[in-house]
């Protein structure tokens, strides 16, 4: 099959996955709220997806190396498709928790195999472009997903069934792909071997795992904690939604340009620029929050999205530059693990700052996290493995 067709099938599948994830977060939150389930339990249910990702991660690499990319993507897609279709069967907190846990495993398998496949067949000259398109399609799907929420007023099962049907259509297109197996030097059979490769991959690319971790922290904190903070400082629900939308749109707009720019200027250089700009935008937001200038805050959120909204895809590209070819599956797996850790930490630390540190702005916390990642990349992110080999 033509590599271009293969690429577009893969990113289209990722877009559908993003759509299902973007739909589930607000949809289930609204359903639980209408059913009288408190916000703490509501948030606990949402963590099921990330728990599934983390628990499945150590067991994901060996099947990929043994069976290849296509079976892992198809298995992950099938888990998501079936789980979405089962939501209307039984409206139960713990049943839905289990389904979201399974979706976390399925989505992680799908994204892990897709990311690794794309990074393996991309050249240094188009790696940033390809990964940014991957991130762009996921971002578009994630942004469109919440539009399904109003359908719950027609029939609670309708959005779940539509999303499941779209996943099934995407899954059928995967049948057209020809399977490939990752490059490897040794056959991997045990968890111990996987942990050894984790150690090797960490040694080469730990600094590249920080942007995905930071993006997971930022995304979950903005969506889960900022609405609470916004309401407490006098921003109404409508304007909170507008600010989050501005951030999301900003990330979509610059995803591809920044990826292409990183192919020319280098991933480290672009990451330093976007992290500095994003940190500055959030710091400016901390100054404007007292004036309750919604337009000013919206500009800050839009600029921040345009900059740090691409840190996940840039981090994956940077990891691929740093990592030997045979360790790419491990590197991609660790990117997903770090993203999930950040996603779990974001609401927890954000909530702690709001509850215990009343003199500190929420935006100061975000700026501090971005500053730490910026300093780490500036100090330690200097060598690119692929670049060294190609000189």
pLDDT number for residue 51: 87
Q: Spell out the alpha helix ranges (H) of 87-126.
A: 93-121
pLDDT for 39: 61
pLDDT in the model for residue 106: 93
pLDDT at 390: 41
Q: Please give the pLDDT value at position 351.
A: 75
The tens-digit pLDDT sequence of the chain (391 residues) is 577 888 999 999 999 988 888 788 778 877 887 787 776 677 678 778 888 888 888 788 888 888 899 999 999 999 999 999 999 998 888 999 999 999 999 998 998 899 889 988 888 778 888 888 888 898 888 778 877 878 888 888 899 999 999 999 999 999 999 998 887 654 555 667 767 888 888 988 899 999 999 998 998 888 767 877 887 788 877 787 788 888 888 988 998 899 889 888 888 999 999 999 999 999 999 888 876 678 999 999 999 999 998 898 899 889 988 888 888 888 888 888 898 889 888 877 877 777 787 778 889 999 999 999 999 999 987 655 444 344 3
CB atoms within 10 A of CB 34: 11
Phi-psi region of 123 (alpha: psi -120 to 50; beta: other; left: phi over 0): beta
The pTM (predicted TM-score) of the whole model is 0.78
CB 369 within 8 A of CB 217: yes
Q: Which of 249, 263, 251 is nearest to 318 (CA)?
A: 263
CB 117 within 8 A of CB 10: yes
């Amino acid at each position: 099959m033509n590599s271009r067709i293969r690429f577009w099938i893969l990113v289209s599948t990722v877009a559908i996955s993003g759509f299902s994830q973007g739909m589930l977060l607000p949809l289930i939150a609204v359903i639980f709220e209408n059913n009288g389930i408190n916000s703490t339990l509501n948030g606990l249910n949402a963590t099921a997806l990330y728990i599934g990702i983390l628990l499945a991660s150590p067991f994901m690499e060996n099947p990929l190396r043994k069976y290849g990319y296509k079976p892992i993507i198809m298995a992950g897609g099938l888990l998501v498709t079936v789980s979405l279709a089962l939501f209307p069967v039984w409206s139960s907190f713990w049943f839905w928790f289990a389904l979201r846990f399974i979706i976390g495993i399925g989505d992680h398998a799908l994204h892990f195999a897709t990311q690794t496949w794309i990074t393996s067949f991309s050249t240094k000259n188009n790696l940033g472009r390809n990964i940014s398109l991957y991130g762009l399609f996921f971002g578009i799907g994630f942004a469109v997903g919440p539009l399904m929420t109003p359908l719950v007023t027609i029939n609670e099962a309708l959005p779940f069934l539509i999303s499941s049907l779209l996943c099934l259509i995407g899954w059928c297109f995967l049948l057209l792909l020809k399977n490939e197996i990752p490059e490897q030097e040794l056959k991997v059979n045990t968890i111990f071997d996987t942990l050894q490769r984790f150690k090797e991959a960490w040694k080469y690319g730990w600094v590249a795992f920080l942007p995905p971790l930071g993006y997971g922290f930022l995304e979950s904190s903005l969506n889960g904690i900022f609405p609470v903070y916004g309401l407490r400082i006098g921003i109404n629900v409508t304007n909170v939604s507008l600010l989050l939308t501005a951030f999301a749109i900003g990330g979509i707009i610059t995803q591809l340009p920044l990826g292409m720019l990183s192919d020319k200027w280098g991933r480290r250089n672009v990451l330093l620029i976007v992290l500095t700009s994003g940190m500055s935008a959030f710091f400016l937001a901390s100054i404007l929050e007292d004036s309750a200038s919604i337009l000013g805050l919206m500009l800050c959120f839009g600029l921040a999205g345009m900059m740090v909204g691409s840190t996940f895809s840039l981090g994956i590209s940077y990891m691929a530059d740093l990592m030997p070819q045979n360790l790419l599956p491990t590197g991609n797996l660790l990117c997903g693990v770090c993203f999930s850790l950040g996603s779990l930490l974001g609401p927890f630390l954000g909530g702690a700052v709001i509850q215990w540190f009343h003199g500190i702005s929420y935006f100061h916390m975000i700026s501090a996290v971005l500053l730490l990642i910026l300093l780490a990349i500036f100090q330690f992110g200097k060598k690119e493995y692929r670049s060294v080999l190609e000189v």
